[in-house]
Structures are given as C-alpha cells and as structure tokens.
Structure 1
C-alpha cells in the first residue's frame, strides 16, 4: 500500500502525511516548513493558537511551489468561538497565512462546557465552506458524545476529527465512529511524542515491540509508527524541527508492515491519554486573545 493521499468525504484529496508545527517556535517554523516541502510533504498542519501561521505561510511561499500544490490545515481556537467570531477568525488566519482559501479548517476543541458556542462556530465553518473560502471543514479532540451532538445539530459531516492517536492510545471506539460516518481519523502525536512527557510511562520510541519491528525493516520506530497509520488508513501529522527527522518521518512508502506486525502494534494500546482531559479545556482556563494579522 503506497497511497500518499486520502479522499475526504466531500471528494477533496488530502495528503496522508502532514508536517505538524505544534510548539514550533516562529523562528524555527519557516525552515521546518521549507525542509518538509523539499523532501516531499505537501500538507502543513498549523493552528491559530500555535502563533506561527505567518511563518507557515512564509515557508510555503519560499518553497517555490504553487499554492495548489500545498494542502494547508489550520484550527480555530476557543477564544474565537461563536458564529461571527469564527468568521473573523478565518479572516485572521487567511491573512497570516497569506492565502485566500484554506484547504481544511477545524475547530480545535469541543469546548463541552459551552457546546452551544461550538455549534455556532461549526455553522460558521459550514458558511465558509458554502462560500468557497475553505475546501473542507472538521473538528479536533472531539469525543463520541461531542461528535454525535454536532451531527444532530448541523448539516455538513466533518471531513476529519484530529485526535491524539499513537500505539499507546488508539481510541478504537472513536475510530469506529468516524468510519461509520465517513470521517477521516487524523492523528496528532502519531509517533507518541507526548509519551516522553508522561510520568512513569515508557516512550513509544523505546518500546521493545516497535524497536523489533523497526529492525526487521531497517527502519526506525518512528517510521514504523507512521507506516502503521498509513496502512490503517489514517492521516498522520508528525512534528519535528530537525531536518533529518522531518525527512525520516516521511520516508515510509517503501516498505509494508505484515498483518502480524500491525496486530502487534494494535495490541500495545494502554487506553491512557497523554493530553489534557477534553473537559478541562474551558475558556476560563485556556482562552487567550488570538491577534489580528
């Protein structure tokens, strides 16, 4: 299996692997994006809350690639939830990125404590889609109850739900729900980078099963994990600022995991989330002003 793109539920194609720039300092973002595009990435994932959309746009322009060749994904932060605020948030992000159209825009969090605002924001995304300002819309970090509520209140089925997903936290019920609605599962922390910060946890990069599989293919554990996502039909957004790691994470289309190897990775799930509990993300605790362009 060597698919480098996935067709979303509205017919738009998204590159399977994207470069993530979460916690990438603005001064490092331009070079990371340039390197990613140089080695073959055609999908960059950013967010208003990351504070580096300007630099993502700069890196894309510096690459010399035509705008249509690069799939840009960004996210609306909870500070800009609400119908009118979300419409304006698009304007801010588009101006920072230096583009007129954004390929995929998603709501960064479900904000369960004020879910009516989330619904209003998603309706704004639906309007942006109808107006041709975005090519696809989606959500991030939604749990089953949030997704079901959203589907009941809105018209456009999200194209993606970007969630924490790596061998130690696989959210299989969430993946099954996505599949039943034609929603693409998109993995953040796809190589388990977050596990390196979890007290008492073994990093996925040090996992004996993953290391053994990597040795059998002459690859790294990180490459095995990205390949696992690709073979299981997910989109993956690995993050790095190091040129060699950026290239390594994309170099996964020349080998294939066996069914037994995939099953062994599937068996590593611990069910332990590394990111914050979704209900803890409230405007009182996490809202901050997203600056104008």
Structure 2
C-alpha cells in the first residue's frame, strides 16, 4: 500500500482537540492519519478512529518511534504500547522520528528492531524522519532497496531540501513533507497570495498542491472543520509548470525545525 499523498497531521494537538480534529477529518474523507509517540496523543487518535466507523482497511495510520526507544530491546515494546493506545493490531507505517542523538544507538540496531517488528506484523512498512542524505544512504544500505518507503522532513517553499529530494527520488524513497505551510508563514507571501487569487484557491490549497505536484506526501493539521474541508480540495488543484517554477524560486533555506540536541547535520 503506497503512502497516501494527502493526510492529517496531529502534531501539538492534545486531548479533546485531537479527538475532534481526527473525527472531523475522517468524516470529511481523510484516510491517512499521522501521529507519534512523543505527541502524547496516540490514545486519543485511536479513540477517534474507533468511533469513526471507518473500516480499518480503508485507513493508513503512521506513528513514529521516539529517540529513547530506538534500542534493539526498547523499540518493539514501545511499538506494542503505541498499538495498544491506538487500538490497532498493526500500523501501516512506522518511522524513526529522529536519528539517535550523537549516534548513541547504532542505526543498524534500530533498523534491525524495526524490520523485526515488520516481520512480526506490527507494521506493514517502515521509514525514517529527519534523515539527511548521509543517514538515508546508510539506512538504505542496512535495510536493502525498497525497505525504507519514506523520509518525513520539513519541506515548504522556503526550504525545499532539493539535494535530499533528488537523492530520495533516485532511491525510490518518497518524501513526506511536514510543516508544508511553514507555520503559516508562506500563506502571507505576496506570490502565494497572487497565485491563490489567480487559481481561485486558498493560499493553503495552493502550497499543498505545489508539494503534491512535486510528488511529496503532505500531512497538514487543523482544528477547524472549514480548513480541514478546504485543504482536501488541494488534491484536485493543478498548477502550470510556470507557476510551479515561480513557487520553486521562493527557496531561501529557511529551516524552522532545528531542535538542539536532536537535529542531525543537515544537507
């Protein structure tokens, strides 16, 4: 099952807020839900999924393993806890959320545990997040071709990760874009505003469509039903090659997510 190009992110959403967001999204037709152990909302996401009545085989659910659980003996028990919280017997995709800080846990150990979890049916697919080219290359070498299905990274018009995107594409690894709207910063960009008007679209729809047209999966989050519904329409918006190039020209290397002690050596 390939990664759906459009999904719902749940970063920073807690309690009833995330229950409402996931519930509304599923009712509107979202079928790809992205969460993580460190978000502290897996149980609430699972509650919303269970109450939705959407058949499990129509859903694509992703979670991410936090850094303290990357060891050979820690990873699988932590994943089993995530499954219990989510009320699921299997994930569709499990990611390494961040590389082990200072390589305290060898990547080979983490990937061996992740592949074992896949072999036991705890997840259908595996991948990584926040991996620069060097670490992605190492992960592919350790796992073999075709095993790492995605690298989830910050990617938006102001930070396009072009070298990483080119390498991932050459290896058949799909990029999943998080922070696609750059915390909302790109929504006020004069070019984005002008193009949105030209296409009779919202700025968010325009930027999400730009990312998907480049072949990236997107996982925007929202707590408002109107925005959830509006964002869905980005799936059918097609931009001209010239307008894609104009948005591409907004690149300025503006990284917004760079946590001290966690961030690797970026490309």
Q: Counterpart in 1 of 2:182?
A: 192
Q: Any gaps of 5 or more consecutive residues in structure 2?
A: none
Instruction: Tell me whether 1:137 sits opposite 2:126 in the alignment.
Output: yes
Paired residues in the alignment total 262
Instruction: Tell me whether 1:281 sits opposite 2:262 in the alignment.
Output: yes
The TM-score, its normalising length taken from structure 1, stands at 0.86
Look up the SS of the partner of 2:93 in the other structure.
strand
Which range moved further: 145-154 or 53-62?
A: 145-154
Look up the SS of the partner of 2:237 in the other structure.
coil
Runs of 4+ in 1 over 6 A off after TM superposition: none
Contact 2:15-2:41 at 8 Å conserved across structures: yes
Q: Structure 1: how far apart are the matches of 2:74 and 2:6? A: 30
Instruction: Report the Cα offset of residue 151 of structure 1.
Output: 2.4
Correspondence list, 1:19-38, <5 A: 19-38=8-27
1:48 to 21, 28, 37: 37
Correspondence list, 1:1-293, <5 A: 12-114=1-103, 116-155=105-144, 157-193=147-183, 203-276=185-258, 280-281=261-262
Which range moved further: 84-93 or 149-158?
A: 149-158
Instruction: Report the Cα offset of residue 38 of structure 1.
Output: 1.2
Contact 1:138-1:161 at 8 Å conserved across structures: yes
After superposition, the Cα gap between the structure-2 partners of 1:213 and 1:67, relative to the gap in structure 1 and judged at 3 Å, is same
Contact 2:36-2:64 at 8 Å conserved across structures: yes
Q: Provide Cα deviations, 1:132-152, integer angstroms capped at 9, x if missing partner.
A: 221110000000111122223
Instruction: Report the Cα offset of residue 121 of structure 1.
Output: 1.5
Q: Structure 1: how far apart are the matches of 2:221 and 2:106? A: 30
Q: Counterpart in 2 of 1:199?
A: none
Contact 2:160-2:253 at 8 Å conserved across structures: yes
Q: Structure 1: how far apart are the matches of 2:79 and 2:113? A: 10
Q: Provide Cα deviations, 1:174-227, integer angstroms capped at 9, x if missing partner.
A: 10110111001000011211xx5xxxxxx2010011111100111111100111
Q: Structure 1: how far apart are the matches of 2:254 and 2:234? A: 27
Q: Any gaps of 5 or more consecutive residues in structure 1?
A: 1-11, 197-202, 283-293
Look up the SS of the partner of 1:72 in the other structure.
strand
Instruction: Report the Cα offset of residue 115 of structure 1.
Output: 5.4
Contact 2:111-2:142 at 8 Å conserved across structures: no
Contact 1:112-1:146 at 8 Å conserved across structures: no
After superposition, the Cα gap between the structure-2 partners of 1:116 and 1:151, relative to the gap in structure 1 and judged at 3 Å, is farther
Q: Structure 1: how far apart are the matches of 2:58 and 2:178? A: 22
Contact 1:82-1:120 at 8 Å conserved across structures: yes
Look up the SS of the partner of 2:245 in the other structure.
helix
Q: Structure 1: how far apart are the matches of 2:152 and 2:116? A: 21
Q: Structure 2: how far apart are the matches of 1:115 and 1:232? A: 35
Instruction: Report the Cα offset of residue 112 of structure 1.
Output: 4.7
